[in-house]
């Protein structure tokens, strides 16, 4: 059982190249991938998307990447264009000074090195295959970390939902115990109501039939049985693992319907209290299901 929330990172170095990948995943109905790619890595966008499509079922996944080049992987040298510009600038300055002062000005190496940006750092030539290999290796490592966290959080959700199922079962047992009392209460109220409405008593047999019919409408035994079955199926789905969020959500809809029907059929206070508790547990599980992949 996997949560849709997780984080993972990976790093791979090949020669002077180091690629770092971070994956962050949050809830989303479908798989939605957002990419933040360094320029030299942008050409591999489709490979990244395909990998995630094959290995992540759903969720909003943000991919952040970074490519670093070791300083040893760069060399320094003179910028020919800037050197030419600097030399011409110094010649013009020398000629202008001579024109104004009559004194000859000699241009030295120190003068040239003082020209801004005359020295440049040149990146070592990067091998595209090395970049791709480093990227995909870092991505796979980040995915492993992401899946570990998703599994850990998923198992924590399973534990919590089983606790809520236990609370649900305890309250259902209480409702089942109180059901005969609720039926008796309904029958008593119906008899009292009929006695007040009718000026002349009905035929005893007809009256018994009417009371039995109305009492049967207030019977909650079927709802109790169905809810118990849904709870069993929910347990089985949790224990089976895998991508069962849709099935669990369907079961919770059915459980919610049964609990609501129980509440509408009886006004016995103890049952009403149990029904409210069961509703709360079902609603809480419906919110938790949204976090499962």
pLDDT digits (tens, 9 = 90+) for 60-79: 999 999 998 875 544 456 66
Note whether residue 1 is domain-resident: no
Q: Quick one: 145 and 159 in the same domain?
A: no
Note whether residue 68 is domain-resident: yes
Query: What CATH number should be reported for the domain holding residue 26?
Result: 3.30.230
DSSP structure class, residue 199: S
Give the number of domains in the chain.
3
Query: Collapsing DSSP states into helix, strand and coil, what is residue 46?
Result: helix
Q: What are the pLDDT digits (tens) for 193-226?
A: 666 656 556 566 665 665 565 656 667 888 999 9
**CA separation for the pair 118, 114 (Å, rounded):** 8
Q: Quick one: 143 and 219 in the same domain?
A: no
pTM for the structure as a whole: 0.67
* H or E segment to which residue 2 belongs: none
Note whether residue 202 is domain-resident: yes
* Cβ partners under 8 Å of residue 145, min gap 6: 7, 8, 9, 10, 23
* Domain span holding position 199: 154-289
Query: What CATH number should be reported for the domain holding residue 162?
Result: 1.20.140
Note whether residue 122 is domain-resident: no
Q: Quick one: 181 and 44 in the same domain?
A: no
Q: Quick one: 188 and 60 in the same domain?
A: no
Q: Quick one: 160 and 284 in the same domain?
A: yes
Q: What are the pLDDT digits (tens) for 99-146?
A: 778 777 777 767 766 766 555 545 456 788 999 999 999 999 999 999
Q: Quick one: 171 and 96 in the same domain?
A: no
Q: Quick one: 39 and 136 in the same domain?
A: yes
């Amino acid at each position: 059982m996997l949560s849709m929330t997780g984080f993972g990172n990976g790093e791979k170095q090949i020669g002077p190249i180091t690629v770092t990948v971070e994956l962050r995943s949050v809830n989303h109905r479908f798989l939605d991938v957002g990419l933040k790619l360094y320029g030299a890595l942008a050409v591999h966008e489709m490979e990244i998307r395909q990998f995630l499509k094959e290995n992540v079922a759903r969720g909003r996944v943000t991919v952040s990447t970074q490519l670093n080049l070791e300083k040893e992987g760069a060399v320094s040298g003179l910028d020919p264009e800037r050197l030419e510009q600097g030399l011409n600038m110094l010649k013009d300055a020398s000629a202008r000074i001579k024109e104004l002062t009559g004194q000859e000005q000699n241009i030295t190496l120190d003068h040239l090195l003082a020209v801004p940006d005359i020295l440049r750092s040149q990146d070592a030539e990067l091998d595209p295959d090395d970049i791709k290999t480093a990227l995909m290796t870092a991505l796979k490592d980040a995915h492993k970390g992401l899946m570990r966290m998703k599994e850990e959080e998923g198992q924590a959700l399973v534990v919590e939902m089983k606790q809520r199922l236990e609370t649900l079962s305890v309250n259902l047992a209480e409702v089942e115990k109180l059901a005969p009392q609720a039926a008796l209460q309904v029958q008593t109220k119906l008899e009292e109501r009929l006695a007040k409405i009718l000026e002349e008593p009905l035929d005893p047999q007809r009256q018994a039939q009417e009371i039995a019919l109305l009492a049967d409408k207030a019977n909650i035994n079927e709802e109790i049985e169905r809810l118990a079955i849904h709870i069993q199926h929910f347990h089985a789905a949790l224990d089976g693992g895998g991508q069962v969020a849709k099935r669990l959500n369907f079961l919770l809809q059915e459980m919610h319907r049964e609990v609501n029907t129980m509440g509408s059929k009886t006004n016995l206070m103890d049952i009403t209290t149990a029904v409210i508790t069961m509703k709360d547990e079902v609603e809480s599980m419906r919110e938790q299901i949204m976090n499962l992949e």
